[in-house]
Amino acid sequence: MEIKVRYFGQLQEITGVKEASFTLPFDTIGSLRAHLITIYPDLKNINFKIAQDNKIDSDLSDLNGTLIDLLPPFSGG
């Protein structure tokens, strides 16, 4: 299964891209997070939430969505 990962806000500066596709299997959101941190070690220094299919989800949840969003700290208003 191919997943699309989109990076928001300052995460685009850390990764140098806005989005990327992955075909590797990840069982949980946490395992995807761990994989992304190995590719982009600077992600360790920032708190970010992960959403799948437009819903923010926990690292313990199964990864079954195809649209994954990485969301750095919110600063609206």
Interface with other proteins by CB under 8 A: which residues? 6, 8-10, 49, 51, 54-56, 69, 71-77
- The beta strand positions in the chain, using DSSP E, are 3-7, 19-22, 49-52, 55-57, 67-71
d(CA 77, CA 29): 29
Nearer to other proteins, 10 or 58 (CB): 10
Nearer to other proteins, 38 or 47 (CB): 47
- For residue 23, give the 3-state DSSP assignment: coil
Nearer to other proteins, 17 or 24 (CB): 17
The least CB distance from residue 42 to other proteins, in Å, is 13
The least CB distance from residue 11 to other proteins, in Å, is 9
Measure CA 37 to chain center.
10
